[in-house]
Amino acid sequence: MGSLLKSRDNLVVLKIGGSVITKKEDDTPEINRPNLNRIADEIGKVMSNRPEIKLIIIHGAGPFGHLYAKRYDLQLGLQSDRQIKGIGVTHRWMEWLNHEVVKTLQKNGVKAMPFQPSAGGIMSDGKLVQFPLNVVEKFLDLGLVIVSHGDVLLDNRTGIGILSGDHLAPYLAYNLRANRLILGTDVDGVFTADPKKDPNAKLVKDITPNTLEGLKIGGSNSTDVTGGMARKISELVGLADKGVASEIINIAKPGRLYKALMGDRMQGTLIHKA
């Protein structure tokens, strides 16, 4: 990619972690309804108060995607006929989750529009190389809020690949020149260890390309076929080096997402260019 074009001041890309809106630790396809309802309410209030915002929402998969992708070994690339069935099964579960997210947003006054990545996205050796950006832009210009998700995509090198929401969000933020990229999770930001298990885990407030090397990053033990925290941070640091800063905040805590979308950049971990 070349240098970043002038940003679209009102465009925000929001990634909603699967750990927040699903019961990810249970490894069963179940939605966390209280969290989803509250998050949709906060987004609805923001869009009512700041109608000038153009918003893209990417939600995580939780067990709806990871459990079935792992069951059919889709992360290994296309190797057997059994995986062909797994593509459809995994996608069906992701579409059902997306339907519920969109429906909940719409009930809270958000002009939400589902957007299926596998219909137009193509990967190459695990990297997203093609996506219908012009279609996304036209829907945004109509005043719709795009709601997309991780998916199973065609891959030019491996046959099939898993597109993570944590890969799609930075891709859209860069290529559509977003002003902000917000990643909502169930912890206060990036820690040196898993804060749910280690009381000595420390929050890392700032990460830059210069400080990434040697930084110890805590991870998660739940089923995830998309690379874990270290890969996500590495990708975000690469994005920061191209000029797009990102924020990781805890949207499991009431009010955090509302404040962030209203302009508060003082929460969680900021990943930016030095």
pLDDT tens digits along 85-102: 999 999 999 999 999 999
Cβ atoms of 116 and 59 closer than 8 Å: no
> Which CATH number characterizes residue 94's domain?
3.40.1160.10
Measured CA to CA, the distance from residue 38 to residue 104 in angstroms comes to 10
Query: Who contacts 96 (Cβ-Cβ below 8 Å, separation ≥6)?
Result: 64
Place 1 in a pLDDT band, splitting at 50, 70 and 90: very low
The answer to the question of residue 148 being in a domain is yes
pLDDT tens digits along 185-230: 999 998 888 888 888 888 999 998 888 776 766 554 444 444 567 7
Per the structure block, which two tokens stand in for 136?
A: 């996304």
The answer to the question of residue 38 being in a domain is yes
The answer to the question of residue 189 being in a domain is yes
What's the domain count of the chain?
A: 1
Q: Which domain holds residue 153?
A: 8-271
The answer to the question of residue 3 being in a domain is no
The answer to the question of residue 1 being in a domain is no
Mean pLDDT of 19-31: 82
Place 25 in a pLDDT band, splitting at 50, 70 and 90: low
Angstrom distances, CA of residue 88 to CA of 115, 143, 151, 230, 238: 17, 31, 10, 29, 32
Instruction: Give the torsion sign (CA, 130, 166, 90, 75).
Output: positive
The answer to the question of residue 2 being in a domain is no
The answer to the question of residue 207 being in a domain is yes
Measured CA to CA, the distance from residue 229 to residue 88 in angstroms comes to 27
Measured CA to CA, the distance from residue 185 to residue 253 in angstroms comes to 10
Measured CA to CA, the distance from residue 140 to residue 15 in angstroms comes to 17
The answer to the question of residue 54 being in a domain is yes
pLDDT tens digits along 29-46: 899 999 999 999 999 999
Tell which wins on pLDDT, 198 or 11.
Answer: 11
